[in-house]
């Protein structure tokens, strides 16, 4: 059974001119795509197989990621159902020169584990063994949007 920490992934994408909008910052659609891809990686690492996006909750763009800076995507599984996997996602702008970061985007995605035919399949139980696992899970649950 995987732990919260086992599913933690951080990925980086330098914002190129082809990724930008008319304001020379990352186009929101590109940021969502990067979040979806990294979130799926966390979900698949947890489920041990393919996962598909089922829902995006409260996608909040707080500030832009300017061209030339790095968009860092942080992702981890914080809860699971029978076939669903809840993933916490945040994006940051990061200076390529100093490494200084600032949060830009915040969301919660739900993925569903599927077999080769696309039929939902069961996922394992999520383990929360270390203080880091507890901290990540507790922050995600405390900040998770209610429906």
CB 133 within 8 A of CB 3: yes
pLDDT range class, residue 35, cuts 50, 70, 90: very high
Over 80: is that where the pLDDT of 146 sits? no
Check if the beta carbon of residue 93 is closer than 8 Å to that of residue 102: yes
pLDDT digits (tens, 9 = 90+) for 107-137: 999 999 999 999 999 999 999 999 999 999 9
Enumerate domains of the chain plus CATH numbers: 5-143 (3.10.129.10)
Look at the block and give the residue holding tokens 């979130």.
39
Question: What is the separation of C-alpha 75 from the centre of its chain, rounded to a whole number of angstroms?
Answer: 4
- pLDDT, tens digit, for every residue of 73-93? 999 999 999 999 999 999 999
Residue pointed to by tokens 């041990």? 48
pLDDT of 59-70, one tens digit each?
999 999 999 999
Residue 74: closest CA among 12, 19, 30, 126: 12
Entry pTM: 0.94
């Amino acid at each position: 059974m995987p732990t919260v920490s086992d599913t933690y992934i951080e990925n980086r994408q330098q914002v190129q001119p082809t990724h930008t909008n008319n304001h020379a910052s990352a186009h929101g659609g590109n940021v969502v795509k990067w979040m979806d891809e990294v979130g799926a990686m966390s979900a698949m690492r947890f489920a041990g197989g393919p996962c598909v996006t089922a829902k995006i909750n409260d996608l909040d763009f707080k500030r832009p990621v300017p061209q030339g800076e790095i968009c860092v995507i942080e992702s981890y599984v914080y809860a699971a159902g029978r076939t669903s996997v809840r993933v916490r996602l945040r994006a940051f702008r990061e200076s390529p020169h100093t490494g200084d970061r600032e949060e830009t985007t915040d969301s919660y995605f739900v993925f569903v584990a599927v077999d080769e035919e696309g039929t939902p399949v069961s996922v394992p139980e999520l383990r929360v063994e270390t203080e880091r696992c507890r901290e990540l899970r507790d922050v995600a649950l405390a900040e998770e949007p209610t429906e």
